[in-house]
């Protein structure tokens, strides 16, 4: 969603780098570009102005010390990064758990902002954290709302507390109050209350939200806002802050083509942290919000940390350990391992979403490639490997012509595709052997190679060294996490 903003930041910094010695006027110019980029992205005027003023002040103040520096633009880039993190709320904030469970979370926001969808995502998330959440249907404005929450609850495999059918729609305040009693009895440690949305700032509904709030005394009220509404987001946030009050913000529909202004304005204007982001309709399309990672994305530096965490979740410990020990023991990486890796990757979500977290993903060439990325490739490759016998997967050398035809027929792919997969796989296998044996790949020093003094030359590196230098990203993520 920050594509255009990222592009403009990149252009402004490229221009700065090309200046040579940076002077006062160059910083003014950079600030002018940044201001324009922010306003184009629908960032509130007051936020854009104060942001730019801070950058200008800090960068100008730093200039005398930077006179001798060979990397002036880098230092200014760092200032922009820090200020960006700061307007996004500084440090990440998580739910404060109540001393006496259940912890009560109430969702509030405009109609269609994504409250009910988020309720399911939060329930799913807490469940994966080992909590025992309960979803509460306190939106009794439309008959369909309870059904929608029940569907969401079923998907998340979390129980839902709703008024009994046949009693009319009932009183949302009573439902909310009774849900707490139910949660205590059934040992639910987190209660997530879905409330009715409002079209605009509707007084009647605002009063209902206040009444629910007063009845359940939530530990956290989360304002749910559609990031696509641009400049309106700030006005709406202010109205909810005055009307019901809230402790944190969830930004939804970040997968859309919103320009990002809401994200940058809301935390600053309401002085409430963004806690969650929703970027799709599925339960998994949900992230905890990290100001530093978001700043990184806006500046085009990617979000490697989130990528590593997703990898850690997708690759279970056993798979990662098995692959690592194979690598260390000198066993060949087989097509069976390849299949396991593909399955783990599929668990991580769509490839274009994953690749979008890499640095430079918003740059012209890479963006084009991502747009054209063929999600079906993984499925087709998997079909081919699954049509092989276990011995063929372990020993692709035995794949003669007739075996290849059989595999092509079995997987519904062409022999050409089978050949290409086997070729690519052989090349990858060869590369792994080279790395393990301390060789170099097209001029690059090998990872465990002779260029690394501690590896002890061409021989097998000592076992402890080998362990700590795993080439497996999943394993590395685990130790870093
Ligand atoms: N693309 C996308 N769609 C979303 C996201 N979150 C919610 N939606 C969709 O937006 C629509 C409205 O979402 P709801 O969760 O029903 O919104 P709500 O705030 O509960 O709406 P009311 O109950 O009417 O107040 C649904 O079609 C959702 O599938 C998101 O992050 N991305
Ligand atoms: Mg709803």
- Shared domain check, 137 and 206: yes
CA distance 451 to 455: 8
Strands 190-195 and 133-138: parallel
Q: What is the mean pLDDT of the chain?
A: 81
71 or 249: which carries more pLDDT confidence?
A: 249
- Shared domain check, 200 and 249: yes
CA distance 227 to 250: 9
In the predicted structure, residue 352 carries a pLDDT above the cut 90: no
In the predicted structure, residue 442 carries a pLDDT above the cut 50: no
In the predicted structure, residue 472 carries a pLDDT above the cut 70: no
Task: Classify residue 388 by burial, with Cβ atoms within 10 Å: 0-12, 13-18, 19+.
Answer: buried
Band (pLDDT 50/70/90 cuts) for residue 360 is low
pLDDT at 199: 81
Ligand 1 close to Cβ of residue 116 (< 6 A)? yes
pLDDT at 447: 33
Residue 121 C-alpha to ligand 2 middle, in angstroms?
13
What residues sit around ligand 2, an ion, with C-beta below 5 angstroms?
Answer: 115-116
Asked if 342 and 382 count as a contact pair (C-beta separation under 8 A), the reply is yes
pLDDT at 241: 94
CA distance 287 to 122: 10
- Shared domain check, 115 and 82: no
Residue 403 lies in a domain: yes
Proportion of the chain above pLDDT 90, given as a percent: 44
- Shared domain check, 119 and 80: no
- What total number of domains does the chain contain? 3
119 or 352: which carries more pLDDT confidence?
A: 119
Residue 98 lies in a domain: no
Residue 184 lies in a domain: yes
Could you read off the pLDDT of 378-426 as tens digits, one per residue?
788 889 999 999 889 888 889 999 999 999 999 999 999 999 889 888 8
- For residue 189 the two structure tokens come to 């440690």
Could you read off the pLDDT of 204-222 as tens digits, one per residue?
889 999 999 999 999 999 9
Report the CATH number at residue 449.
Answer: 1.10.260.30
Show the domain range for 160.
103-301
- Shared domain check, 474 and 342: yes
Q: What are phi and psi of 250, to 5 degrees?
A: -115, 125
* Ligand 1 atom with the shortest distance to the CA of 152: 15
| Domain final residue pick, 29, 57, 87 | 87
CB atoms within 10 A of CB 332: 14
Strands 248-252 and 274-278: parallel
CA distance 352 to 368: 11
Asked if 205 and 247 count as a contact pair (C-beta separation under 8 A), the reply is no
- Shared domain check, 14 and 78: yes
Band (pLDDT 50/70/90 cuts) for residue 49 is very high
- Shared domain check, 454 and 322: yes
Report the CATH number at residue 82.
Answer: 1.20.120.140
Least confident of 165-174, 237-246, 309-318: 309-318
Ligand 1 close to Cβ of residue 362 (< 6 A)? no
Q: Which of 114, 153, 252 gets mutated to test ligand 1 (max ligand atoms within 8 A of its CB)?
A: 114
Ligand 1 close to Cβ of residue 221 (< 6 A)? no
CA distance 168 to 7: 53
Residue 94 lies in a domain: no
Distance of alpha carbon 328 from its chain centroid, rounded? 32
pLDDT at 67: 77
pTM for the model stands at 0.70
- Shared domain check, 351 and 283: no
- For residue 220 the two structure tokens come to 């956290």
Peptide bond connecting 102 to the previous residue in cis, omega within 30 degrees of 0: yes
Residue 153 lies in a domain: yes
pLDDT at 142: 83
Ligand 1 close to Cβ of residue 227 (< 6 A)? no
- Shared domain check, 355 and 278: no
Ligand 1 close to Cβ of residue 419 (< 6 A)? no
Report the CATH number at residue 202.
Answer: 3.40.50.300
pLDDT at 474: 38
Asked if 178 and 146 count as a contact pair (C-beta separation under 8 A), the reply is no
Residue 217 lies in a domain: yes
- Shared domain check, 287 and 139: yes
363 or 84: which carries more pLDDT confidence?
A: 84
Asked if 402 and 301 count as a contact pair (C-beta separation under 8 A), the reply is no
Asked if 278 and 332 count as a contact pair (C-beta separation under 8 A), the reply is no
Residue 195 lies in a domain: yes
pLDDT at 299: 83
Could you read off the pLDDT of 305-349 as tens digits, one per residue?
666 666 666 656 666 666 666 666 666 778 887 777 777 776 666
pLDDT at 460: 35
Residue 317 C-alpha to ligand 1 middle, in angstroms?
35
Q: Label each residue of the chain as H, E or C.
A: CCHHHHHHHHHHHHHHHCCCCCCHHHHHHHHHHHHHHHHHCCCCHHHHHHHHHHHHHHHHHHHHHHCCCCCHHHHHHHHHHHHHHHHCCCCCCCCCCCCCCCEEEEEEEECCCCHHHHHHHHHHHHHHCCCCEEEEEECCCCHHHHHHHHHHHHHHCCCEECCCCCCCCCCHHHHHHHHHHHHHHCCCCEEEEEECCECCCCHHHHHHHHHHHHHHCCCEEEEEEEHHHCCHHHHHHHHHHHHCCCCEEEEECCCCCCCCHHHHHHHHHHCCCEEEEECCCCCCCEEECCHHHHHHHHCCCCCHHHHHHHHHHHCCHHHHHHHHHHHHHCCCCCHHHHHHHHHHHHHCCCHHHHHCCCCCCCCHHHHHHHHCCCCHHHHHHHHHHHCCCHHHHHCHHHCCHHHHHHHHHHHCCCHHHHHHHHHHHHHHHHHHHHHHCCCCECCECCCCCCCCHHHCCCCCCCHHHHHHCCCCHHHHHHHHC
- For residue 27 the two structure tokens come to 């910083």
| Domain final residue pick, 301, 335, 350 | 301
Look at residues 403, 404, 405, 345 and name the one whose alpha carbon lies nearest to residue 377: 345
Least confident of 2-11, 95-104, 441-450: 441-450
| Domain final residue pick, 255, 283, 301 | 301
CA distance 248 to 116: 17
Contacts of 73 (CB under 8 A, 6+ apart): 13, 16, 17, 19, 22
Band (pLDDT 50/70/90 cuts) for residue 20 is confident
Could you read off the pLDDT of 266-306 as tens digits, one per residue?
888 899 999 999 989 999 899 999 998 888 888 877 666 66
CA distance 278 to 348: 16
pLDDT at 449: 31
pLDDT at 21: 84
* Ligand 1 atom with the shortest distance to the CA of 197: 25
Residue 203 lies in a domain: yes
pLDDT at 302: 63
Ligand 1 close to Cβ of residue 252 (< 6 A)? yes
CA distance 471 to 311: 14
pLDDT at 444: 36
- Shared domain check, 359 and 210: no
- Shared domain check, 252 and 362: no
């Amino acid at each position: 969603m920050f594509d255009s903003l990222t592009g403009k930041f990149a252009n402004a910094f490229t221009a700065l780098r090309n200046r040579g010695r940076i002077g006062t006027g160059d910083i003014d110019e950079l600030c002018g570009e940044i201001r324009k980029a922010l306003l184009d992205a629908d960032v509130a005027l007051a936020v854009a102005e104060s942001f730019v003023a801070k950058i200008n002040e800090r960068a100008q103040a730093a200039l005398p010390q930077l006179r001798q520096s060979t990397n002036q633009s880098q230092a200014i880039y760092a200032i922009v990064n820090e200020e960006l993190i700061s307007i996004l709320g500084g440090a990440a904030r998580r739910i404060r758990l109540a001393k006496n469970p259940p912890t009560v979370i109430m969702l509030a926001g405009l109609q269609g902002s994504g409250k009910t969808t988020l309720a399911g995502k939060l329930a799913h998330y807490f469940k994966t954290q080992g909590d025992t959440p309960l979803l509460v249907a306190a939106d009794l404005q439309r008959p369909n709302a309870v059904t929608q929450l029940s569907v969401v609850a079923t998907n998340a495999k979390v129980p839902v507390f709703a008024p009994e059918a046949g009693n009319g729609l009932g009183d949302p305040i009573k439902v909310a109050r009774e849900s707490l009693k139910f949660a205590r009895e059934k040992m639910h440690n987190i209660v997530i209350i879905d409330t009715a949305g409002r079209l605009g700032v509707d007084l009647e509904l605002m009063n209902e939200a206040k009444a629910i709030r007063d009845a359940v005394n939530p530990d956290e009220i989360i304002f749910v806002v559609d990031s696509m509404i641009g400049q309106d987001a700030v006005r709406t946030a202010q109205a909810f802050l005055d009307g019901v009050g809230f402790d944190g913000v969830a930004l939804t529909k970040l997968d859309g083509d919103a320009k990002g202004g809401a994200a940058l304005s809301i935390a600053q204007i309401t002085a409430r942290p963004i806690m969650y982001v929703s970027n799709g309709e599925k339960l998994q399309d949900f992230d905890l919000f990290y100001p530093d990672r978001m700043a990184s994305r806006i500046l085009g530096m990617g979000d490697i940390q989130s990528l590593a965490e997703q990898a850690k979740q997708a690759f279970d410990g056993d798979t990662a350990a098995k692959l690592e020990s194979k690598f260390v023991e000198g066993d060949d990486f087989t097509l069976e391992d390849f299949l396991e890796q593909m399955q783990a990757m599929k668990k991580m979500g769509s490839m274009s979403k994953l690749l979008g977290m890499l640095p430079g993903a918003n740059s012209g060439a890479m963006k084009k490639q991502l747009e054209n990325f063929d999600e079906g490739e993984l499925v087709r490759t998997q079909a081919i490997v699954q049509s092989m016998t276990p011995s063929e997967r372990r020993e692709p050398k035995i794949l003669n012509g007739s075996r290849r035809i059989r595999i092509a027929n079995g997987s519904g792919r062409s022999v050409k595709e089978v050949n290409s997969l086997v070729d690519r796989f052989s090349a990858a296998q060869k590369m792994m052997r080279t790395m393990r044996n301390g060789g170099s790949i097209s001029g690059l020093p090998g990872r465990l190679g002779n260029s690394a003094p501690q590896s002890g030359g061409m021989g097998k590196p000592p076992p402890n060294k080998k362990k700590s230098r795993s080439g497996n990203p999943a394993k590395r993520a685990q130790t870093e996490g």
